[in-house]
Amino acid sequence: MANGTIVKTEDLTKIYQMGAVSVEALRNVSLEFYEGEYIAIMGPSGCGKSTLLCLLGCLDRPTKGRYYLGGEDVSELDDDALSTIRGSRIGFIFQSYNLIQQLTVLENIEVPLYYQGCPERETREIAEELAVLVGLGDRLGHKPFELSGGQQQRVAIARSLVNDPLIILGDEPTGNLDSSSGAEIMVIFDELHRQGKTVIMVTHDQEIAGRAKRIIRLRDGQVDHDVHN
In whole angstroms, what is the distance from residue 62 CA to residue 66 CA?
Answer: 8
Q: Which domains are assigned to the chain?
A: 35-61+76-228 (3.40.50.300)
Long-range Cβ contact pairs of 206-213 (< 8 A, separation 24 or more): 206/42, 208/40, 208/174, 208/182, 209/40, 209/42, 211/38, 211/40, 211/186, 212/38, 212/39, 212/40, 213/37, 213/38, 213/39
Percent of the chain that is helix, strand, coil (3-state, to 5): 35, 30, 35
Q: What angle do CA 22, 9, 77 make, to 5 degrees?
A: 75
The predicted pLDDT at position 40 comes to: 97
Segment 157-176 mean pLDDT: 92
CB atoms within 10 A of CB 40: 23
**Over residues 176-193, mean pLDDT:** 92
Q: Contact at 8 Å (CB) between 6 and 167?
A: yes
% pLDDT > 70, the chain: 99
Residues 6+ positions from 55 with CB-CB distance below 8 Å: 9, 12, 14, 26, 61, 62, 67
pLDDT digits (tens, 9 = 90+) for 47-67: 999 999 999 999 999 999 999
pTM: 0.91
pLDDT in tens, 71-125: 999 998 999 999 999 988 999 998 888 999 999 999 999 988 877 777 888 889 9
Q: Does 1 score more than 50 pLDDT?
A: no
